[in-house]
Copies of this chain bind each other. A is one copy, B any other.
Amino acid sequence: MSDATAQSKNGRLRGRAASVGLTKERIVDVAIAQIDEKGLHAFSMRELARALGVSPNNIYWHVGGTKEDLFGEIAARFTAAVSQSLPRDKPWQDRLRTVFLSYRDAVSDHANVAPLLGAQLKSNGVANLALVEAVLTALHDAGYRGSALRDAFNALIGGLCGFVTMEFAPAPDDKANEWEALFARRVAEIDADRFPFTHAVLPDFMNRIFVLRWENGKHVSYASSFDFLLDLLIEGLSARAPRQSPNP
């Protein structure tokens, strides 16, 4: 009652007296760290608040809006890092390769955040302007215009970013550990009559086939498949390029 600074039951101050200098940056930092560590599935606003030593509402106040908005902020953090302006004098093929390889690298460093990035890229793509700019310019330099430019752009973003999103999609929770056994059981169950080829081929050498496997809960690398896809697309775009006009 006579205290100069009132305190709440658990001893924590309220109001501006309690200010800990929380910032959007720090929130996003810790959020990413938490997702990296425990996975997107286990991430919650309350847990984040706990880790920050702060009440949940404080986060809402700084981020403004909803959990989804926080996800947007997280995604923006990545998009910024993806591509610093690339030298325009390099061939457009090289520029495309660099951009998408660096996108994959950025995602691969924070695999648990991947699903979030995919969703945000779709719904909030305009925010990812570095990526958009780089790809559009490269395709323009390749001679693509109008609807052909649109389709080429979509094919690249959808195909490559889609690949990455799937590549780093999380294992279904607890099953990560028993994955190897699960895989073996599934393969053994394959109906040899209906799926003769899969039955014959899968068990032998397909231990790195896409979409099928984790190792000890960690992702195996599909880097070579990504490279292959990237090459395929860039070669295809070269072959179909309406005209070669390096200086538009």
Contact = CB atoms under 8 A, between A and B. Distances in A.
A76 interface: no
A150 B224 CA distance: 10
Contact of A133 (B126, B197, B225, B237): B197
Nearest to A125: B211
Interface stretch (A6-14, A18-26, A30-38, A155-163): A155-163
Contacts of A155: 163, 225-226, 228-229, 232
Copies in the complex: 2
B232 A136 contact: no
Contact of A173 (B68, B147, B233): B68
A175 B65 CA distance: 12
B195 A157 contact: no
Interface in A161-200: 161-167, 169-173, 175, 183, 186-187, 190-191, 194-198
Contact of A163 (B162, B170, B202, B231): B162
A39 to B, nearest CB: 13
Interface in A78-125: 85, 115, 118-119, 121-125
Contacts of A237: 232
A153 interface: yes
Question: DSSP majority for the A interface?
Answer: helix
Interface residues of A, number: 77
Contact of A154 (B140, B209, B236): B209
A133 B198 CA distance: 5
A201 interface: yes
A159 B163 contact: yes
A173 B129 CA distance: 23
Q: Which of A137, A201, A226 has the most CB of B within 10 A?
A: A201
B154 A222 contact: yes
A151 interface: yes
Given A127-B186, A129-B198, A162-B166, 20 more contacts: A85-B194, A122-B211, A123-B170, A126-B190, A133-B196, A133-B198, A136-B197, A136-B202, A147-B205, A150-B206, A154-B210, A154-B211, A155-B163, A155-B229, A158-B163, A158-B166, A159-B229, A159-B233, A165-B166, A232-B237
